[in-house]
Amino acid sequence: STPIRALGSNRVSRVLVAPQSARSRGGGVRLRRVLGRTPPSSGLESLSIGKPPTSPIRGNALSPRATMADASLETTDTALVDGETKWQNTVTRVSKAVVVIKTTGTRAFDTESASSSYATGFVVDKARGIVLTNRHVLRPGPTVAECVFQNREEVSLVALYHDPVHDFAFFRFDPNDVSFHDVEEINLLPEGAMVGLDVKIIGNDSGEKLSILSATLARLDRDAPKYGNKTYNDFNTWYVQAASGTKGGSSGSPVVNVDGHAVALNAGSKNKGASAYYLPLFRVQRALELLRNAAPVVGDGTGKCTGKFDTAIASRWHEPIVPRGTLQATFVYKGFDDLRRMGLPVDVEKRLRDTQVSSNGTGALAVEDTVPGGPCENAGVQVGDVLVAITVDGTAASVTNFVQLERVLDDNVGKEITITLQRAGASVDLAVTPDDLHEITPSKFLEINGGVVHALSYQQARNFQMRCGQVYVAEPGYVLGLAGVPKHCIVTELDGVATPDLSSFSAVYAGLVRRFLKRENGASKNGMDISNGDSKTAQTVALKYFTKDDRHRIKTATLRTHFNWHTSPTFFHRNWRTGVWEKSDLLDAVAEEVDMDADVVGEENEMGAATASVNKKRKKASEEPEVPAANDDLAEVLRSPRTDDAPATSLAESVTRAVENSLCVAKCDIASVALADGVYSRSFEGNGLVLHHDIGENIGIVVVDRNTVPVSSCDVLLTFAAYPCEVHAVVEFLHPTKNFALLSYKPRALPNTGRGRVTPAVTATGDARYELRRGDQLILVGLNSHCRPTSRQVGVADATSSAAVPSADIPRFRAVNEETIKLDIELGFDTGGVLADANGTVRALWASYATPASDGEVDGVVRGMFIDDAICATGRVVQWLRHEHGRDEFCDSHSDKTVTTLDAEFEVTTLAKAANLRVPQVWIDVLLRKDPERRQALVVASTVANTGASKVLHDGDVVLKAGDVTCVTFGDVDRAVAGAGETRLLPMTVCRGGEIIDLQISLSAVSCLGTQRLTHWAGCLIQKAHRPVAELGFTPGSCDAPNEVFISRWFHGSPAHRYGLYALHWITEVNDVLVFTMDDFENAVGGVENNTFVRVKLVSLQGRPKVLTVKVDHHYWPTWELRKSANA
């Protein structure tokens, strides 16, 4: 399509241009007809009909009149072709300056979250390597970026500057890094934008490498677009509007005229519609001129610029200085019709109109809102005031548009000026001092346990109508998120100390970290284990905050100092000279304050009582003296089943009283850096049952289901029904195939009054589980979220139901080869507890099973779970704990802490279907005699990859016998496995296609400790492939050398996010070096230098290989490791 300028107007139309051959045959006539200026056809025809021509017409020959008309059309055609050629030349040249920007925000900051995206930019100074783009592309926080030229040459970008308010920013690159591309630059022409101007937008629209869109500028005075209430918004400027239909990826594209000058900067568009919004370049041009002063270009000795940098380019850049002033007020341009209704006098209107004759202005600036604590609000400026003039150094000048306003403010930062306003017909003069925009735009943040806290920016202060500089939570992370502190909230107090700004918050938080470290060091010196309850309790402090939408009510959260999952809190401070946010440790940056109440650390009765005080001393509740008489009275009350000593009115009530003191609620929280084994949530909660409680040995054991505690890398709190207190617990045992986990706690961590209240449950032993029959009546007893007991009588519908949990898309633990109990009523997911008989004997745990849903989410199914395996495991755990206190070394392998398993999953089939599988009748009779009630057989559904079972068992094999046990139930197989002994060889008889086959299967010793080692590299979480992955039936490598390096998670804003190093892949090679174990991987990446590319070969769960290159970033995403110590 070719742009055609209509005669006598600036309107531009687009029409199809005929081929050159058609053009020579009257193509010009066709073009003129489209424009509506073609003479009537009868006029041409009259030359041959009304009056014969003086000479005959042959072929393409025309009459003299027709020849003159055609000559005129040929002239028009020539102009059109020249215009088309000029556009082609312009686009060719401009394209050499346009780059695709790949940008990654490494941390959540201000209005932006950590993420990775593509955008556009263009070179505005090729000698200095300066690239112009949008502010929302560079982002206000830490950014890593590269740009790709049109010849697919990639160079690194460094953040140079972004405007605090307007949507423009600059990157820089080293021109010496460009080896092959002929870089061009685009000149800025702010005054070139005019209504009706034909422009082209050249950029990375919709993710394409190069897209060229045409448009006509329709408006130059559109209000700045509003993108949201909690995100970045531009203001105090006009925007240019056109219908170019630009979409994602085109941010930062140049809007160029036919001469190749940028007249605007593409910034945004409507989601529904073709309207696009371009930023004017007046303030952009000023910033560019000032930025050029920050990077002297090497000359040739004669004063002439060579456009080349030396090798020390980074050191040649210095801090850019771009003065930016603000009154912390938002102005809006209103027409004189609106202003007159607001009370603007006619004489003032005339004066304002006279000053805008040359620009055809039709309005003035009115105050739309002010920010609390800003210069305007402090001076008394009110919403609706109309700005008339500004006086500087005694000289008054009318200010009627944003360009004039910002020019005055930028030139008078920190200097008092006088603004003249019209308020309801009255003139008001107010003295104000413009603030420095850079001072109220945060350039520092504190990273605490995965969260980000910094001063409230001017952007968000304007969005929220709050004072700048308050403590703003950009990302809660683990510790703040665990306390329920939401994103975008304002923290007002921490540990009883007011926190009006980031400095005060940092001082209090540094005190918390130091107290935590002193507690740990003191416990180590005294041989105590704080995490297991040797101290009084885990450190908790109060935090107060409020949110934007509920600002008038202060909320209080309880913050727990779970500081062991992350590195020390760190400050990040922006350095525009290097483009990097430099790091400094919080404890190094904040001096330690002496607390006279914290002189002694280490003794059990004073651990956790000390507190760092900034303004005043406070007495902790833990320091209050005990009142023996009151405690004795309370103990006497608690010894009574109920305060009124009333007898139980029902069977359910009597059983509840017998079981209640053995129940607890387990709360499991997992840090994002420890989300291992495909776990689908960060927080879990469920009922637990006390199986062991020995105050003398200080050992307590609680059993929970694995949908309450799914992994070992977590923090667990127990709340007992017997006494209202919270006790820290440690994951000691995770069964690899059964749905239970064992937690240990310290009974002495309970208050003296509550220690004796907790009692271990009375459980069924031996073969009592098989005595349950359909119709048996049991009592379901559980604790609700408030730790109050609930109970009801239920009946057993089926005591032999298979759990049959299907595999999920994301491999995670699922119970296999396990029988469950179904009741005669569905009680929902939120109900948990135990199933007890009329004597108060616990027969089963009412447990939750995580099952995948059709929409990819996870549902919970509650079933009765027999606990005989948990009781056996409890004895083992108690023995471990008796012998392992005080061991400090890391535990990578635990030969004694394993479970022997047959690595196969079985499904239940009826004997009738087993006969269809060609099982001989004699074996059908044997299985029927073994269990006349179940009338079932076990069929191999799958095997675990690269195990002994996978070598000999086939899917569809019918299990007849294992060892000396005829196998009808999962329990039969378990007993056979237990009887295999230390040889770990299990003879098995199966039916395969009608043939009876005797097999010898090697059993596996699987760790019951869960994943013990997590490596963070390039922003992804790498671990040894957990068992559910192998249960899918495939792992790379062989049985002798399986590959165990598995990506479990990745984090937003990381190199893994940027380059697509996503989860659910094995890493098999690093830089062409084979890696099988975690040690192999760490050795392979250990020597990789920062900002270098690593070639990684991956294998997906489906076995498909893939090769990626990843540029490591040791500054923002260092390599580090989490390991579980012997003391958990």
Please list the active-site residues: 136, 167, 250
Q: Tokens 């005591």 map to which residue? A: 799
> Beta strand pairing status for 395-398 and 386-392?
antiparallel
Distance in angstroms (rounded) separating the CA atoms of residues 140 and 108: 9
Tokens at 731, concatenated = 């994951």
The β-bridge relationship of strands 490-494 and 497-498 is antiparallel
Residue 751 token pair = 């208050």
* 767 close to 731: Cβ distance less than 8 angstroms: no
Query: Can you tell me the distance from the alpha carbon of 306 to that of 309, in angstroms, rounded to the nearest whole number?
Result: 9
- H-run or E-run covering 26: none
Show Cβ contacts of residue 293 under 8 Å, excluding neighbours closer than 6 positions. Answer: 320, 321
For helices 402-410 and 282-292, give the axis angle rounded to 10 degrees: 30
Name residues whose C-beta falls within 8 Å of residue 1016's C-beta, 6 or more positions apart in sequence: 673, 1022, 1117, 1118, 1119, 1120, 1121, 1122
Nearest to 1065 by CA among 1091, 1047, 1045: 1047
- Supply φ then ψ for residue 65, to 5 degrees: -65, -45
> Which of the 8 DSSP states describes residue 24?
I
User: What are 43's two structure tokens?
Assistant: 């006029």
List CB contacts of 485: < 8 A, sequence separation 6 or more.
473, 476, 491, 543, 545, 557, 559
Expressed in angstroms, the distance from the first to the final Cα of the chain is 71
**By CB neighbour count within 10 A (0-12 exposed, 13-18 middle, 19+ buried), where does 952 fall?**
middle
**Of 455, 427, 451, 429, nearest in space to 443 by CA:** 455
Distance of CA 565 to the CA centre of its chain: 18
3-class DSSP state of 504: helix
DSSP E strands in 149-261: the ranges are 154-162, 169-172, 198-203, 211-223, 238-242, 254-256
Dihedral angle, C-alpha 441, 444, 448, 452, nearest 10 °: 30
What phi and psi, each to the nearest 5 degrees, are found at residue 522?
Answer: -65, -40
DSSP readout, 262-285?
EEEEEEEE-SSSS-EEEE-SHHHH
Pairing of strands 1120-1123, 1013-1017: antiparallel
- CA 575: distance to chain centroid? 25
State how far the Cα of 900 lies from the Cα of 898, in Å rounded to an integer.
7
Give the distance, in angstroms, between the CA of residue 166 and the centroid of all CA atoms in the same chain.
Answer: 26
Structure tokens at 359: 């620009």
* Residue closest to 449 by CA, chosen among 672, 247, 139: 672
H/E element holding 121? strand 115-125
Which of helix, strand or coil describes residue 1031? Answer: coil
- The C-alpha atoms of residue 978 and residue 958 are separated, in whole angstroms, by 21
Quick check: 687 and 833 in contact, CB under 8 A? yes
Cβ–Cβ < 8 Å for 687, 664: yes
Is residue 632 within a helix (H) or strand (E), and if so which, with residue range? Answer: helix 628-639
Q: How far does CA 136 lie from the centroid of its chain?
A: 18
Asked if 1017 and 1085 touch (Cβ cutoff 8 Å), the reply is yes
Identity at 848, one-letter amino acid code: S
